[in-house]
Structure 1
């Protein structure tokens, strides 16, 4: 005689507190290898789970981790806002009904901040009325998952949101690159400059900014052609990347001008970097139609310590003044802004 079958218990279904079976794996679905072309062992993304229930947080954490995601948890709105800013998760799972600050208010603040506005938010809630669904979507939420949740559905919805975030990040990154040289563009530079000035105000942290301009670049274009002029700019950009540290920001400022932001550097160390860069570019050779030629650059250096700028325009204006001084005094040299005026750092010949 066979063993009697056990009656089905709803409390053992996926997503319930008593579910002791292994969480269903989203990557077991047919075709999921196309969606997730990620090597085994690597994370599929970091998910911020926000819920005032410790049980729900644990259930969601177990489900997501079983499907290759990393998780971070928050039990209230204030903690969620802080962790979202600090951790920069790929997706946020957000409960609506929480004490002190509702999920709707958390969503509104997240979407209102430049640091977190692009992170997809999925509401995880017991509410199922149309009014609240519409309200959440109008605030910028990406999706809804209702409690009690199905583990397979939850992971599938998180997976789609994670894929969206990956594509958004990819587009955002490409929008910050200069098409000719492959280094960052002016938009990205401005953003990093604002961040640097914000750190200065908060932590009294200083940075150096170097502006570099190719000497007689119009003559290169006129005599050798724009194709060779473009090659000169690419070679200089490559030299900048090679010379700069990983923490530095290298950008094309515009035309034949480049900018390098050097965090935690003084005017003296900024000058040493600029002088090394000047020498590297001066020694660079380019061959065109059987002849070899070289170019030089003029550079201006400024720091947030000497200028105490009110905004990035002040900082850029002082760096530009130092650069103009280098141009006016013979080119192929480094000049500094000492807080009062532009001065030549050292005769370079």
Structure 2
């Protein structure tokens, strides 16, 4: 996996050393020698990851990281802070500023590349979601979310997987009151729980026996329901090889024993922030897709989606019955708006949409065609069979008064034009024939159905 990495250090020799190591692994390297340069390069050069020195004159690495995470253009870029400081308080300060990981000088090459690859995998997934978000935003559908350093951590659900009773007690005491926690000593129980509950993070002890910690992490990553949950691995000071393996199979972060409480909480909070940002991206994308294909007033599919779906039905139809189409137009609807106002008219349109949905078959699709017009697509349905659906719709819409919030009850009838497809039909020709039938129904007295033979 190639990527562009920004190296930030005020000592040129350090930059050169890291640049040589990274380019040998086919990464593209750009550099900055101070905080302001780093902030500018992060926006202009758009790196995939930043290796950021802590101790720099003027603006230190902590402040640079805070500013990177506060900028929507760079907030999603993973930051690994490189420091000679070994105090847990410094790691906590960096994690609180938004850093994704720490490397201590002198930097171990194996550890560095394992962390780089792990964070790049996460960014690759988030970039895919962000690209979809940008597409939605460009269509004016929905604004994309921005990562935040401020979350309601007390509501976050954490699953602790530890089979040592004494360590179980220690872990629960460490994060008591910080998160909502569950504890299990069995890996398979943890996996089953995570399949049913969406945890913000799962903490796994590397020393776990049933199954072993790394195997459980692997199972989390290969199971559909759990592959995206963040995993925090608890490792010993001599577990470097196993830690590297864990990062390669998808472990998100780690804490070295003996565990510093503040660092443990800070790392869990970082995982919660990333998980919730990832969840918001997915949710917004789903919402944007729904908004792109549905009518906001009635909740029915919109005209654009209906036309595309109809074209697909006609292209894929292998049935001799073909596809029938009914276009529904409300009679004298302009009078509803003119007499009772647009809020009453909107209530009517919503209720008509509801009545249509309740009175079509499971295979049928309803859409709002525009204004007071609706369309129902009936796959695998000839003209004779479509009469049953069309008559049911005519009676459902006009046979019972509709309740509006601003104008009370009113009765609204409709006219329907119905036709069935020929082998040579396109979506346009089929809709045109149904529209001609609707025109005939409107001019033939309204509150009626006209069937236009194929």
TM-score (norm 1): 0.53
In the alignment, which residue of structure 2 is the partner of 1:346? none
Q: Matched residue of 2:400: which SS?
A: coil
Deviation at 1:319, TM superposition (A): 0.9
In the alignment, which residue of structure 2 is the partner of 1:237? 353
Q: Matched residue of 2:368: which SS?
A: strand
In the alignment, which residue of structure 1 is the partner of 2:298? 181
CA distance in 2, matches of 1:62, 1:215: 60
Q: 1:283 and 2:392 equivalent?
A: no
Going from structure 1 to structure 2, the CA distance change for 1:217 and 1:264 (only over 3 Å counts) comes to: same
| Candidates 202, 217, 221, aligned match of 2:333 | 217
Q: 1:152 and 2:251 equivalent?
A: yes
Answer yes or no: is the 8 Å Cα contact 2:330–2:372 preserved in 1: yes
Query: Number of paired residues?
Result: 225
CA distance in 2, matches of 1:245, 1:225: 33
CA distance in 2, matches of 1:293, 1:197: 38
TM-score (norm 2): 0.42
Structure 2 counterparts to residues 1-16 of structure 1, below 5 A: none
Answer yes or no: is the 8 Å Cα contact 2:195–2:226 preserved in 1: no
Structure 2: runs of 5 or more not aligned: 1-109, 115-156, 161-174, 181-192, 199-214, 229-244, 254-270
Q: Matched residue of 1:152: which SS?
A: coil
Structure 2 counterparts to residues 160-309 of structure 1, below 5 A: 164-200=281-317, 206-286=322-402, 292-304=409-421, 306=422, 308-309=424-425
Q: Whose radius of gyration is greater, 1 or 2?
A: 2
Q: Matched residue of 1:302: which SS?
A: strand
CA distance in 2, matches of 1:43, 1:152: 19
Q: 1:325 and 2:433 equivalent?
A: no
CA distance in 1, matches of 2:217, 2:379: 39
Query: What is the CA RMSD across the aligned residues, in angstroms?
Result: 4.2
Q: Matched residue of 1:179: which SS?
A: coil
Answer yes or no: is the 8 Å Cα contact 1:27–1:67 preserved in 2: no
Deviation at 1:253, TM superposition (A): 0.2
Answer yes or no: is the 8 Å Cα contact 1:208–1:261 preserved in 2: yes
Structure 1: runs of 5 or more not aligned: 1-9, 15-25, 34-38, 45-57, 71-89, 91-145, 340-349
In the alignment, which residue of structure 2 is the partner of 1:41? 195
Deviation at 1:293, TM superposition (A): 2.9
Q: Matched residue of 1:284: which SS?
A: coil
Going from structure 1 to structure 2, the CA distance change for 1:163 and 1:297 (only over 3 Å counts) comes to: same
